[in-house]
Structure 1
Amino acid sequence: MKWGLTAVAAMSMIASLGPAMAGKNYGPGVTDSEIRIGQTFAYSGPASAYSVIPRAQIAYFRMVNEKGGINGRKVSLISLDDAYSPPKTFEQTRKLVEQENVSFIFSPLGTPTGMVVRKYLNDRKIPQLFVGGGATAWGDPKHFPWSMSFQPSYQAETAVYAAYVLKHKPDAKIALLYQNDDAGKDYAYGFKKGLGPDNVKKMVVSEATYEPTDPSIDSQILKLRASGADVLFMHAIPKQAAQGIRKIHEIGWKPTFFLAATSASVSMVLQPAGLEASKDIITAQYVKDPTDPQWKDDPETKDWLAFMAKYYPDGNLQDSGNVYGYVVAAATARLLEQAGDDLTRENIMKQAANMDFRIPMLLPGIKLHTTPTDYYPLKSLQLQRFNGKTWVLFGEIITP
């Protein structure tokens, strides 16, 4: 599937890094009237449930299209299906760079898919911006200065869960279930790191992994339950996450259940699993949930709902992927606004490595912040628990 998009964006946000360079300085994919950006995403395959994210981004650029232009230029977003398959990602990324002549790669999905093209893009000094994956490997400006993710790192997220366990269940028996790839292993490592080596030895009683193509994870769930664990952490893409939640409910296992934020969508995961089965699951969040009653009168949430109603009316308001896509698109528009008329790949990456601003729909107290030596834009999270209808935030904003 190929999405060809032309969006003209009028952004009134003031650049935080000072005035743009005098004169015009363009890199590949940029003219006086256009900025071409490229993306690979799972419109098909085992992670296709995440395809709501680029659809929300397409809608965002359609919205700003009606308002003028990012410094007078339209944004052409070319979004190609990679089916969450690394070989396909490499093929489609080469097409974006070598045939479509994009300025940079924007918000591609996945750590295993992103890793396969990281060296290719860095060797060519092409920004790989706001990757949809939280592996700590994305924060390595020394070795890969052209690659950056967006969300909090998996290790930061699991550190929050580990801290909760140490405080509230110091005698816990912990089971870990995660995808057998770089992302899953990073999640598991982060949880253990948060516990500390001594606690890992006495608290982690069982681990299991799965492959994205596995038709079921029932056997892994049964193995973990048999360990006697009373705390479970699960990292899984939406299909397997829903399967796991449903199976845990069916067998009557009631651990303190932490679910990776990447699969916390009510519509993609919890509804298919069963809302009653999902009750009391805990996860971490950094964006507002528009279904949470506390945001009923919040101006940013009202603006998001109006955006959805006008530009993405078939989008599910309970799907957090639609908020995530909106936030990433808004951050990218802000960077392009800051870049002014210096739209070389070097300056676009420089803007990404010098962020210090807040984007609407982030939780209060959370903002984007990077430096040339810190490539983790978001670092803060807040815990939330599912009450059978919606997620309910609790505790304070935590920055591990």
Structure 2
Amino acid sequence: MISGGAHRRSILLALCLACLAWPGSRVLAREPAGYALGMSAAFTGSSDGLGVELYRGSMAYFAFLNAHGGIHGKPVAIRILDDGYQPGPAIDNTIQFLQGDEPLCLFNYVGTPTVTRILPLLKGYGGRRKLLFFPFSGAEPQREPPYADYVFNLRASYRRELAGLVDRFLALNRNRLAVFYQADAFGRSGWDGAQRALRSHGYVPVGEATYRRGARFEESMKRQVDILMRANPDAVLSIGSYAACAALIRDARDMGLTVPIANVSFVGSEKMLSLLQEAGRERGRDYTSNLVNSQVVPSYEDLSLPAVREYRELMDRYAPDAPALSSRGYVPLRYSFTSFEGFLNAKAMARILETYDAHPAQGLRAAAESLADVDIGIDAPLRFGPDRHQGLERVYFTVVRDGKFVPMDERRWRAWQR
């Protein structure tokens, strides 16, 4: 027979476990003395893999953290709401987070068209303000006044990613660069980054093609490919989501456009690659050659890095499920650049919460700004400060080899020399 005290403790434990993730109900549940983070992201729709994998990577670390006492005895939970990568629901979700006592802050938001639309709310809604930590977006609005004070970014910007790609291609004498981009705030942010990078060298894009947000892999991109081919590019800079970018690559190769195609980190490399591999098997073609993807975190294949070894171990140990509100039949990835980014986001957030918990009167902003040259287990230090809300700056490049994206070496770059 269970005593009354033991029964109450068992109920409390069950509540703690149930609150590790919030399946998107419209009621903000409370949990015993813990820290809750509010995440609005795409858990359904054509970009669901980004929200699900970012969440899973963070949950792998928080599950480990909570199993070892949390933040000075306090568990960390992620409250999740689905916005389908659409601005309207993202605004509604953010208002809900702001209206309640929980969460402590916003965390892991996904996408430029969603993040840019909720930025005004961070300055105050109904007298309430919350900071946004580590959005999965490299756009500039959250990095510039008047919103930079309310957002902390971990990942490098799209401007840095595009500048790195442009510099690489120009060094290979591939000067005729075309741009394919999503026709919204995300795509225009990448387009602006490409324009700036090219103008700094005295060039402009030789061609541009766009597509509408939400495009699926089954849709045709032949019209866009035709526009790009008429420009006779030496390479294509692609700023989009994985389904649309994979469709472009498929149709480009089928129509004879064989030049390198470069995608920025938001694309979701593994999801894009899976679509191309499946199409290749069906059509007896290889759609994975002459691709390069920029990344904002190191490769999860680089086992020399402590964070990579820790990430792989904890993803295997805890194997976080896709949340119940995600698309039916979603198959989680064992490892991915997106979940590794979510993992690093959680590690950085835990360091901030540790500082905040020790000195709560100083506030969450001060706790975050106190982090300087923090080692989170990768090959670059994490830095924040009162005038610096950009944690990392480095950009990495990856190429497909043996059926997966791996670090790009100089020999492979030189193979594209003109």
Q: TM-score range by the shorter chain?
A: 0.7 to 0.9
| Alignment partner of 1:231 is 2:235 | yes
Structure 2 partner of 1:398: none
Deviations 1:327-367 (A, max 9, x none): 111110111012233336x62122333432445453x2x22
Checking the alignment, whether the CA contact within 8 Å between 2:136 and 2:155 is kept in structure 1 is: yes
Checking the alignment, whether the CA contact within 8 Å between 2:98 and 2:129 is kept in structure 1 is: no
Structure 2 partner of 1:347: 363
- Which TM-score applies when normalising by structure 2? 0.79
Deviations 1:284-330 (A, max 9, x none): 2342323x3xx346544332222111101774234221211111111
Checking the alignment, whether the CA contact within 8 Å between 1:109 and 1:132 is kept in structure 2 is: yes
Structure-2 separation of matches of 1:286 and 1:114: 18
Larger radius of gyration between Structure 1 and Structure 2: 2
The 1:4/1:192 distance shift into structure 2, 3 A limit, reads farther
Once the two structures are TM-superposed, the CA of residue 158 in structure 1 deviates from its matched residue by 0.4
The 1:320/1:98 distance shift into structure 2, 3 A limit, reads same
Once the two structures are TM-superposed, the CA of residue 67 in structure 1 deviates from its matched residue by 0.4
Structure 2 partner of 1:219: 223
Structure 2 partner of 1:356: 372
Structure 2 partner of 1:78: 79
Structure 2 partner of 1:186: 189
Q: 5 Å matches for 1:196-275?
A: 196=199, 199-201=202-204, 204-215=205-216, 216=219, 217-266=221-270, 268-274=271-277
1:375 aligned to which of 380, 389, 393: 389
Structure 2 partner of 1:14: none
RMSD: 2.7
Bigger mean CA deviation after superposition, 154-163 or 31-40: 31-40
Q: 5 Å matches for 1:151-170?
A: 151-169=155-173
| Alignment partner of 1:386 is 2:386 | no
Structure-1 separation of matches of 2:344 and 2:133: 14
Q: Per the alignment, in what secondary structure is the counterpart of residue 237 of structure 2?
A: strand
| Alignment partner of 1:282 is 2:292 | yes
Q: Per the alignment, in what secondary structure is the counterpart of residue 49 of structure 1?
A: helix
Checking the alignment, whether the CA contact within 8 Å between 1:282 and 1:383 is kept in structure 2 is: yes
Deviations 1:192-228 (A, max 9, x none): 2112266324xx2111111113353332122111221
The 1:135/1:354 distance shift into structure 2, 3 A limit, reads farther
Once the two structures are TM-superposed, the CA of residue 112 in structure 1 deviates from its matched residue by 1.2
**Residue type at the aligned position of 2:184:** D
Checking the alignment, whether the CA contact within 8 Å between 2:154 and 2:391 is kept in structure 1 is: yes
Structure 2 partner of 1:333: 350
Once the two structures are TM-superposed, the CA of residue 370 in structure 1 deviates from its matched residue by 2.4
Once the two structures are TM-superposed, the CA of residue 31 in structure 1 deviates from its matched residue by 9.7
| Alignment partner of 1:308 is 2:319 | no
Structure-2 separation of matches of 1:90 and 1:254: 41
Indicate the structure with greater strand content: 1
The 1:86/1:313 distance shift into structure 2, 3 A limit, reads closer
Checking the alignment, whether the CA contact within 8 Å between 1:330 and 1:359 is kept in structure 2 is: no
Q: Per the alignment, in what secondary structure is the counterpart of residue 179 of structure 2?
A: strand
The 1:331/1:136 distance shift into structure 2, 3 A limit, reads same
Structure 2 partner of 1:17: none
The 1:156/1:179 distance shift into structure 2, 3 A limit, reads same
Structure-2 separation of matches of 1:43 and 1:273: 22
The 1:32/1:350 distance shift into structure 2, 3 A limit, reads farther
Once the two structures are TM-superposed, the CA of residue 48 in structure 1 deviates from its matched residue by 0.7
**Residue type at the aligned position of 1:86:** P
Structure-2 separation of matches of 1:105 and 1:198: 38
List runs of 5+ in structure 1 lacking aligned partners: 8-28, 396-400
Bigger mean CA deviation after superposition, 60-69 or 295-304: 295-304
Once the two structures are TM-superposed, the CA of residue 233 in structure 1 deviates from its matched residue by 0.5
Q: Taking every aligned residue pair, what percent have the same amino acid on both sides?
A: 21
Q: Would you say how many aligned residue pairs link Structure 1 and Structure 2?
A: 363
**Residue type at the aligned position of 1:353:** E
Structure-2 separation of matches of 1:369 and 1:257: 32
The 1:164/1:4 distance shift into structure 2, 3 A limit, reads farther
Checking the alignment, whether the CA contact within 8 Å between 1:138 and 1:375 is kept in structure 2 is: no
Structure-1 separation of matches of 2:153 and 2:18: 23
Checking the alignment, whether the CA contact within 8 Å between 1:367 and 1:378 is kept in structure 2 is: yes
Q: Per the alignment, in what secondary structure is the counterpart of residue 105 of structure 1?
A: strand
Structure 2 partner of 1:18: none
Structure-1 separation of matches of 2:312 and 2:80: 24
Checking the alignment, whether the CA contact within 8 Å between 2:181 and 2:187 is kept in structure 1 is: yes
Structure 2 partner of 1:22: none
2:341 aligned to which of 306, 324, 340: 324
